Amino acid sequence: MGIATLVKRRWPFLVLAAMIFCFPLVIKSSFLMRVGLVWALFAISITGMTLLTGHAGVVSLGHSAFYAFGAYLSALLTVRAGLNPWLAMLIAAGTTSVFAYLFSVPFLKLRRVYLAMGTLGLGEVVFLVAKNTTDVTGGVSGVPGIPYLSLGRFVLSHDWQLFYLFGIFIILFVFLAENVGRTRLGRAYHAIRTNETAASAMGIDVQWELGKVFCFSAVVCAVAGSLLAHFITFISPESFTLDYSFALLIIVIIGGANIWGTLVTSIVLVGFSEVFRVFQDFSMGFYGLLLIVALFVFPDGLAAVLSSKRRGAAAAEASPPAPGRDTATVLAGPRDRGHGEGKILELNGISKRYGGTEALSRVSFSVEYNQIVGIIGPNGAGKTTLLNVINGFLTPWEGSITLAGVDVTRKVPHEMARMGVGRTFQLTNLFKGMTVVENVMVGCHLDGESGILAGGLNVGRARREEAEIGNRAMESLEFLGLTGRAFDIVESLSFGEQRLIELGRALAMRPELLLLDEPAAGLNTAEAERLGVLLRRIREQGVTIVLVEHNMPLVMSVSDMVYVLDFGRGIAFDTADGVSRNEEVIRAYLGQEVRSVS
């Protein structure tokens, strides 16, 4: 990467570094320098929150708890245990990560307002503990005598020295947050926020990924809290009220899923807060009013304003077109699909009930490797329910499911994806706000292993993974003939193209078994015929397909075997020709009109 390209891609960092360097040189007022330090602590804290709330959509009202954790642990370890402040900060960060993980395990199973209320309770509990455990925290009297940070014999006791130290942390965490937002993890967070069901089907372990980013954001807040303790050398519970959590959340919501948007918002809000300090009692009301106005003006946050015009170009730069390649081999790859013989999928006595309604009743059939098996039946017959049971979104009431000789009856969707099961949905489940190629790249999530630190530091392995994922996605689009739309926002595509993009995303997983739920829904005759050609080409590359579809000409023309459901019961399993002549099937579903199709 040349210098010019590096500057073009990273110019915001150069601007940020220049601002941090120049601020102490230009500002001579001790009051404004203190304001700068307050902003710096906010800037550090919001980097983790940008990933958690801006990207992943997790609303937390309790990050003041982790801010307090870092501050109190650093203070107590240095004042009472005599530890080196840097070691105390490290221990505080590690302890906070463990505490955040233990909290996240049960609470991240909640969603939306319930999760927000849970974190709100956490923040309030930590505040009350700090206020009332006088023997440990000093209660309202606080913890005095906290030592300054130092580098050898050089004590960082002046505000300008601390500002440069804080600036280093800002640049580090901003670098991490922006890089993670561009990687498979950033796409995974966006996918979870916009369509959690589809994200699970792509192999994303939602709970695990949210837990990791929750812990990362907690650690970042703990670091900011530790810096606060060694900056003011005294802490008390009043520094860790819920107002801090609300301010963080408002900044991130206004900024959106863009670290630069949140930094700009933090400068504005901290500046306004200090200018109107005389009205401090009304500060949260002002923040709330500003949030309401911002949601009306740009509901997706400043991120949409700052990046909407650049997103396609940025994606094109990050994911260059794949080198020319014979599309007949596009689904081949390092993931061994086995190309086995015999049965890849077996269902034995599958039943599913909803209260007194039996959606599936002792459904049994098997699918051979490299077959296309169509599943047909009238509306309400249980076809989508059956796919959801196979895919792990629903657990059967009774019966068993075997995939490639392994019992998968109790597996969940992301585990099924890891075992080579791809999926499309009855209703188009794309990730809005992403480009076409980014949507397809989510299907390659399992092709990478880099975590937050590796992706955030942009190490060689993470860069190689991103390049491979980008190439895989482009190859999938080339297979579908959609490379020309790769860098368009997915909502701008026609309905038929969106159906193909969902298929391309599933193909990017390099599945062994592909579950398709009405892929021809909404397609015209020509598009349905093209889909039939694609399905045959996919099968020729060793991918087994289970196809739920109402388009009878399509099903009958591509299926090796057809399974017929009627009110949750299997009434026939035969070749297309055999099914079309079955009297019970004709009475239940096909009718005399379809007899002529065969």
pLDDT for 307 = 58
pLDDT for 257 = 84
Half-sphere exposure (CA, 13 Å, Cβ side) for 110?
Answer: 14
585, pLDDT greater than 90: no
pTM score, whole prediction = 0.90
How many other CB atoms are found less than 10 A from the CB of residue 59? 18
502, pLDDT greater than 90: yes
The string of pLDDT tens digits covering residues 384-421 is 999 999 999 999 999 999 999 999 999 999 999 999 99
The string of pLDDT tens digits covering residues 48-103 is 999 999 999 999 999 999 999 999 999 999 999 999 999 999 999 999 999 999 99
C-alpha distance from residue 453 to each of 45, 54, 457 (Å):
17, 19, 6
- CATH code that applies to domain 343-595: 3.40.50.300
The string of pLDDT tens digits covering residues 504-521 is 999 999 999 999 999 998
| Exposure class string for 448-462: b at 16+ Cβ within 10 A, else e | bebebebbbebeeeb
Give dist(CA 184, CA 206) in Å, integer.
Answer: 13
Give the N- to C-terminal CA distance of the chain in Å, as an integer. 60
Contact present, 198 and 430 (Cβ < 8 Å) = yes
DSSP β-bridge partners for residue 363: 350
Compute the mean pLDDT over every residue in the chain, rounded to the nearest whole number: 88
Give just the sign of the alpha carbon dihedral 190, 196, 200, 204. Answer: positive
Q: How confident is the model at residue 273 (pLDDT cuts 50, 70, 90)?
A: confident
Give dist(CA 7, CA 61) in Å, integer.
Answer: 37
37, pLDDT greater than 80: yes
Mean pLDDT of 32-43: 94
What is the DSSP track for 90-156? HHHHHHHHHHHHHHHHHHTTS-THHHHHHHHHHHHHHHHHHHH-HHHH-GGG-B--PPPPEETTEE-
356, pLDDT greater than 70: yes
- Give domain limits for the chain: 3-244, 343-595
Give dist(CA 82, CA 78) in Å, integer.
Answer: 5
Burial of 531 from C-beta contacts in 10 A (0-12 / 13-18 / 19+): buried
What amino acid is encoded at 323 in this protein? Answer: P
pLDDT for 28 = 87
Give the pairing of strands 561-566 and 372-376.
Answer: parallel
**H/E run at residue 366:** strand 357-368
DSSP β-bridge partners for residue 562: 374, 574
Give dist(CA 68, CA 143) in Å, integer.
Answer: 12
Q: How confident is the model at residue 275 (pLDDT cuts 50, 70, 90)?
A: low
